[in-house]
Structure 1
Amino acid sequence: MFKTKWFSGGFSGGFSGKLSGKLSGKLSGKLSGKLSGAALAGLLTAAGAAQAASVSFVQPTDGATVSNPVHVVFALDGMKVAPAGTMMDGTGHHHLLVDGKPLAKGEVIPANDKSLHFGKGQTETDLTLPPGDHTLTLQFGDGAHRSYGPELSKTITVHVK
């Protein structure tokens, strides 16, 4: 139905979020050098100071009219991209659902011609889609291809000329 070209974009994302100056100052003064980034991220998440993780499309934009091949670039905030098989908290990889909807948390993301897996950590691709309107749903999943749920998905609509 359509073709895809994958890019080896490497790993992206990471812990991001804005902390209040007071909390940030206390943590950097007392914990600097004593906690790994992952441990600090876990502590901040538990304290409610971390921003919720999210995925988004860098391009195309929602409602865009595009031509083939459709260049799609993914973004991730609040977690890290890691290859499939990596079973570490706060990591996962992208999946692109063509004309599909976000999946429930824990549901295994299918592998078929409308559900593309980017298990090497890719953050962009080129698609060839039939002319007309299409939805693209970016779904983040863990190392075993289980969905992180609608909270870590983003759907846009594009019109292919």
Structure 2
Amino acid sequence: MNHIRSLSLLLSATVLLAACKKEEAAPAAPTAEPAAAAPEAAAPALKSSPAPEGAKISFADLKDGATVSSPLLVKFVVEGITLAPAGTEEPASGHHHLMIDAELPPADAPIPADANHVHFGKAQTETTIELTPGTHTLQLEFANGQHVPFNPPLASEKITVTVK
């Protein structure tokens, strides 16, 4: 029994030492492993990425002031930056987020995921949304693989649509 415990402690120490050496060499990518292996280690900071000059995102066929029906097909356009799934850590890449009746979230934290902040982490370029009759605002924001907005923010114009 003591032999098994000694091996377990030795393995834990080896993993902890390897993790420390890896952090010295380069920042570690977020993992899904439990924090129990190194309780004193803090999670890597999520940070904004620089926005490529000239990059733009917009709605394809939807214009400000449009009267629409629900469900509504919304298509996204991206120019000057690479469209990539969430989790991709390549520079100048990211994916869309749709704000429905919401302001853009703070630029220094991941975009929340809720009914007003819809994520397209599989690099989708369109969606169909259900909207109640009345006036609604829509805005796109592009974010990096960690769902953190670019700096400066890469967002479409906020548009207003009326659902009949």
**Normalising by the residue count of structure 1, what TM-score does the alignment of the two structures yield?**
0.65
Query: Aligned residue for 1:125?
Result: 127
Structure 2: 5+ residue stretches without partners: 1-51
> What is the one-letter code of the residue matched to 1:143?
G
Query: Aligned residue for 1:68?
Result: 70
How far apart in 1 are the matches of 2:123 and 2:155? Answer: 16
**Count of residue pairs the alignment pairs up:** 113
How far apart in 2 are the matches of 1:121 and 1:160? Answer: 27
**Displacement over 3 Å in runs of 4+:** none
CA contact (8 A) 1:103 1:149 kept: no
Query: Aligned residue for 1:158?
Result: 161
SS at match of 1:148: strand
Q: Percent identity?
A: 46
How far apart in 1 are the matches of 2:132 and 2:152? Answer: 26
Q: Which residue of 80, 83, 101 corresponds with 1:81?
A: 83
Q: Structure 2 matches for 1:125-144, cutoff 5 A? A: 125-144=127-146
CA deviation after TM superposition for structure 1 residue 107, in Å: 2.3
How far apart in 2 are the matches of 1:64 and 1:151? Answer: 25
How far apart in 1 are the matches of 2:121 and 2:80? Answer: 19
How far apart in 2 are the matches of 1:114 and 1:143? Answer: 20
How far apart in 2 are the matches of 1:109 and 1:125? Answer: 18
Q: Greater RCO between the two (CA within 8 Å, min separation 6)?
A: 1
CA contact (8 A) 1:103 1:150 kept: no
CA contact (8 A) 2:66 2:160 kept: yes
Deviations 1:21-43 (CA, angstroms, capped at 9, x unpaired)? xxxxxxxxxxxxxxxxxxxxxxx
What's the RMSD between the two structures over aligned residues? 1.8
Q: Structure 2 matches for 1:39-50, cutoff 5 A? A: none
How far apart in 2 are the matches of 1:107 and 1:137? Answer: 18
**Normalising by the residue count of structure 2, what TM-score does the alignment of the two structures yield?**
0.64
Deviations 1:93-134 (CA, angstroms, capped at 9, x unpaired)? 000010111234332100111111000010000011011110
